[in-house]
A and B are shown apart, each in its own frame.
Chain A
Amino acid sequence: MDANPILPPQPTGLTPPQATPAPKPKVVLEARGLVKRYGHVTALDGTDFELREGEILAVIGDNGAGKSTLIKALSGAIIPDAGYIFLDGKPVHFRSPIDARRAGIETVYQDLAVAPAMTIAENLFLGREILRPGWLARLLRWIDKKKMLEEASADMKDLKIGIRSMNQAVETLSGGQRQGVAVARSAAFARHVVIMDEPTAALGVKEGNMVLELIRRVRDSGLPVIIISHNMPHVFEIADRIHIQRLGKRAAVVNPKTISMSDAVAVMTGAKVAEELSPETLAY
């Protein structure tokens, strides 16, 4: 490392201190200068974002730091007031979650976004049901329940969630299993990115670990994953890099293998700024 170990307070430049310029891995999803205001509240104040190939990127931040707003902008749930989003280097403009999904970004929402009274298979295919073959079926939009059941079983088997029947209502499942359904749905349909909002919140220890394992499996299948979480041990256990959001901006991107949890929290709460961290803990 040739970076200066002594870091004088930097002039308030917009560019964070750069580590050694190494060949960066391919960037899958990128945002530049995102701004979102709600009335006089500025949720995003020109934030940047970068997700690389094959990684799990955790987004952490205090309440009101704008992490949910950031994720909503990336998943199309809100439209930013300013700034740019690039997917595989190409600018994209999501006007709705459907746009983002069409572009290959799947989101697992915190409140799970499942229809509890409907079956697992139906939930997996909600909004993109498999239709029976033939013009009549197409005209009537006649769904192929059997095929949906088979494919649902295959998807869930891949993720090893251990649910017996795809024909049972989601409300009969435990919290972890429901989360599993939501993750499986995203993993089955995502082509570029999976976003997970608080995937382990409200889960017990065992189920939380099951979901973490699930997230790793999704990454290992080749999909980069963004997770937002308040659970620091989980974040440090699973993330390849950590994006710290503070006051509507990206405060730092750090490496969970080299930074201490207390330093990460210090940046998150503003007790430290990125410039005070030692360079090897940064992961830009």
Chain B
Amino acid sequence: MAEQQPGTTQKPGSFLERLPSLSILGPLVALLLAVVFFSLQSERFLTGQNFSLILQQISVVAVLAIGQTLIILTAGIDLSVGFVMALGTMVMAKFAVELGLPPLLAILCGMVVTTAFGFLNGFLITRFRLPPFIVTLGTMNIAFALTQIYSRAQTVSGLPEAHLFWGNTFRIGETVLTYGVVLMIVLYLVVWFFLSETAPGRHLYAVGNNPEAARLMGIPTQRVLLLTYTIAGFFYGIAGWLLISRTSVADPNAGQTENLETITAVVLGGTSLFGGRGVILGTLLGAIIVGVFRNGLTLTGVSSVYQVLITGILVILAVTADQISKRRS
């Protein structure tokens, strides 16, 4: 065949071109292996009811991890996620139970607080050019202290119906699902659309991939960063609402393990810690992987310490893969 006219063909081409989707292939294989393994170990594992349970268990972390993914795509990191969420849940609960605000207004106030924290993170990072790691380490402690002070370290219960809304269930055949799980999936689809199909979404990738290039191409990089952290804060608010729907209380000590769990989900899902590479649905996959391992190990009677151990190993493996693929490119 004659040489192709340069730049005319649109054949989806080489192996290299499909590399981005490869980053999601690893986690997918890991998930399938885990599912097969646990199915052989326990007959209770491979049931609709069990998978519904896994989805419920991961919903809070998965929604938090949306915010974390957006931030990591910009080559940042957020260590304050879980603690900001906990503060949000406390505001949602106490504003309704103690101040007597209408439940939905109280929830809105909680979301405003988490969004404001996201904005604060973004403001400090963009305005003073501080490293995200340090800024969010600081706001993590501030959010934790505020939660303890405001709640006097007391759990708040007796929450109104609206606060528990996402815990309501419906049936598909034999399987009972919560509205919270549906919300989680919808949020993932919305963010997927935003990231892959809209101009601001692509700009977010560009800012993470090469901030200087993005700036020179006229993208307001600082505004993109500020908005990313702010939007992430909004997702922490939604996650807070999901959390109190699941637990029916606002616990001042909630959210303490979620920081690392969100980062785990993001990294397992194939998003690069160096920014600019990754897909949001990978994060959902990452969260599901963690959920499946937890659930499977529990069902097979393995002590929870080993669950932590295995999660740790998985994260190291994923980060190593990320580093190797970065060096290759």
Q: Which residues of A contact B (CB under 8 A)?
A: 77, 96-98, 101, 107, 109, 111-118, 122, 126-129, 131, 140-143, 145, 149, 153, 156-157, 160-169, 171-172
Complex contact B210–A114 (CB within 8 A):
yes
Which residue from chain B places its CB closest to the CB of A182 in the assembled complex? B213
| Residues of chain B at the chain A interface (Cβ within 8 Å) | 4-14, 16-17, 19-20, 197-200, 202-203, 205-206, 209-210, 212-219, 276-277, 329
Q: Which of A127, A141, A163 contacts B7 (CB 8 A)?
A: A163
Q: Are A169 and B216 in contact (CB under 8 A)?
A: no
Instruction: Say yes or no: B12 contacts A140, CB within 8 Å.
Output: no
Residue of A nearest to B19 (CB): A169
**Which single member of B4, B9, B276 contacts A117 (CB below 8 Å)?**
B276
CA distance A97 to B203 in the complex (A): 17
What are 23 A-B residue pairs whose CB atoms fall within 8 Å in the complex? A101-B218, A109-B213, A114-B210, A115-B213, A115-B214, A117-B205, A117-B277, A126-B206, A141-B198, A143-B202, A153-B8, A156-B6, A157-B5, A160-B6, A164-B6, A164-B7, A164-B13, A165-B12, A166-B10, A167-B17, A169-B20, A172-B16, A172-B17
Beyond A115-B205, A118-B202, A167-B17, whether A157 also contacts B213 by CB under 8 A is no
Tell me whether B4 and A164 are in contact (CB under 8 A): yes
Q: Which residues of B contact A157 (CB under 8 A)?
A: 5-8
In the bound assembly, the distance between CA atoms of A117 and B215 in angstroms comes to 16
Assembly CA distance A280 to B4 (angstroms): 47
Given contacts A127-B203, A141-B198, A157-B5, contact A165 B10 (CB under 8 A): yes
Q: For B206, what are the chain A residues with a Cβ–Cβ distance below 8 Å? A: 115, 118, 126-127
The reply to whether B17 and A165 contact each other, CB–CB distance below 8 Å, is: yes
Residues of A within 8 A of B10 (CB): 149, 153, 165-167
What residue in chain A is nearest B206 (Cβ atoms)? A115
Contact status A168-B218, CB under 8 Å: no
Residue of B12, B197, B214 most packed against chain A (CB within 10 A): B197
Which residues on B sit within 8 Å (CB–CB) of A131?
199
Please tell me if the beta carbons of B276 and A115 are within 8 angstroms of each other in the complex: yes
User: Considering the chains assembled together, what is the distance between the CA atoms of A60 and B12 in angstroms?
Assistant: 42
Q: Find out whether the CB atom of A142 lies under 8 angstroms from the CB atom of B329.
A: no
* A115 with B209, Cβ < 8 A, contacts A156-B6, A165-B12, A172-B17 known: yes
Out of A111, A126, A140, A164, which one reaches B198, CB within 8 Å? Answer: A140
Nearest CB on B from A100, distance (A): 10
CB distance B203 to A161 under 8 Å?
no
User: Which residue in A111, A114, A165 is a CB contact (below 8 Å) of B13?
Assistant: A165
Interfacial chain A residues near B212, Cβ < 8 Å:
111, 113
Residues from chain B with Cβ under 8 Å of A143 in the complex: 197-199, 202
Q: Which residues of B contact A168 (CB under 8 A)?
A: 13-14, 16-17
A163 and B218 form a contact (CB under 8 A): no
CB distance from A227 to the nearest CB of B (A): 17
**If the complex has contacts A117-B276, A117-B277, A127-B217, are A163 and B6 also in contact, measured as CB distance less than 8 A?**
yes
Q: How many whole Å from A2's CB to the nearest CB in chain B? A: 47
Our pick among A140, A164, A169 for the contact of B9 (Cβ within 8 Å) is A164
Q: How far is the CA of A165 from the CA of B15 in the complex (A)?
A: 13
The answer to whether B216 and A107 touch across the interface, beta carbons within 8 angstroms, is yes
Among candidates A127, A163, A164, A165, residue contacting B219 with C-beta atoms closer than 8 Å:
A127
| Cβ 8 A contact of B217, one of A113, A162, A166 | A113
* Additional pairs, 18, CB under 8 Å, beyond known A98-B218, A113-B213: A97-B215, A109-B213, A113-B212, A115-B210, A116-B329, A118-B206, A131-B199, A140-B197, A143-B198, A153-B7, A156-B7, A157-B6, A161-B7, A165-B11, A165-B12, A167-B13, A168-B13, A169-B20
Task: Give bound CA distance, A140 to B329, whole Å.
Answer: 33
Complex CA gap A143/B200 in Å reads 10
Closest to A149 in B: B10
Q: How far is the CB of A163 from chain B (nearest CB, A)?
A: 6
Q: Would B209 and A118 count as touching, CB distance under 8 A? A: yes
Q: 9 closest Cβ contacts across the A-B interface?
A: A162-B6, A127-B217, A156-B7, A113-B213, A115-B209, A98-B218, A127-B218, A141-B199, A157-B7
CB proximity of A72 to chain B, nearest CB, Å: 11
Per the bound structure, the CA–CA distance linking A157 and B12 in Å amounts to 18
* A114-B213, A118-B202 known; A97-B7 Cβ under 8 A: no
